[in-house]
Amino acid sequence: MSDTLRFLYRQFFLTPSATDPHQHSLEGRTGIVTGSNIGLGLEASRQLLSLRISRLILAVRDLSKGEKARRELARAAPWAIIEVWQLDLSSYASVQAFARRCDTLPKVDLAILNAGILKVEMQINQSTGHEEVLQVNYLSTALLAILLLPILAKSSEKSKAGRLTIVGSETAEWAKFQERTSKPILAAFNEPRYFDLQDRYYTSKLLEEFFVTSLCRTVPRSKVVVNIVNPGFCYGSGLHTEVTGALGVVFGIYKRIIGRSTAVGARTLVNAAVVQGEQSHGRYLSDCAMAPFAPMVEEKSEGAVAKTLWSEMMAEFSFTDAERIVERMKA
């Protein structure tokens, strides 16, 4: 079966199941969801509350939109502590500040890193010098994941291992990743000749898969279970807000015909963070089950490309304790 037929089969004939609150109670637990004021993040937050999570951090860029989401969620979950914290993945300083604030919590049991963007035109982040989709979807997401590791590991000292779920996409399979032949790789993302709005998003999701496989060769599942999940193609996510005009109308219709609702897509996020056990560590999940990574990752996860990406990323994060944190997780 071709990639396209497999995609359409999953979209039309597979419906992820909701997590059963009678079997999976989150009472007494604390969770974080990034990008949680809209779309998949908002729906995942709603579902975590349906499992009676006690404390939920809504990590958002726009505090006013986050507060609106908090009020909506609080009406259905008056028992829960729901907080809105600022997190701007365009800024390393914001990522670091958010992680430091998380470290003040008694514990964090789970984190769903959902926030991501798609850009119609190439844009360079003025504070980091990197192309913006690469910055938000890959670099800042990876940095946040690493900084949260020791915080999530505190949960494993008290009960079961903490859970870190990164929201990926099956579009990683379709990435061309032409930049991989460049030296260095990350700098090549700033070259206009490589920028294509679709492929840049696909490639950012492919890089997330490389990151998870590399990270989990060091981080033991006994401390933090790290996985990456594909929610499927969803309408109502807000991801394609920059696609406007006639193309936006056509794409909107396509999404409604092919797409799942964000409520259904969010079930996969909650399943990955709550239901899946230690066997999901370092694995790719789709439709609430383990599945293969993108072929390029399967073929090159231990090769030169993966090693170069990891090396360049650690060099990028040299202003933080990222490399030291990862090494300490071995002990």
Cα dihedral 316, 59, 230, 183 in deg (nearest 10): -10
CA-based nearest residue to 188, from 136, 134, 128: 134
**Catalytic positions:** 201, 205
Instruction: Report the distance separating Cα 322 and Cα 145, nearest Å.
Output: 10
Give Cα separations from 254 to 13, 187, 262 (angstroms): 17, 34, 15
Burial of 307 by CB count in 10 Å (0-12 exposed, 13-18 middle, 19+ buried)?
A: middle
Q: How many CB atoms lie within 10 A of CB 271?
A: 23
Q: What is the CA radius of gyration of the chain?
A: 19
**Tokens describing residue 75:** 């009406």
Instruction: Report the distance separating Cα 217 and Cα 306, nearest Å.
Output: 12
Angle, helices 262-270/39-50, rounded to nearest 10 degrees:
60
CA-based nearest residue to 43, from 303, 267, 301: 267
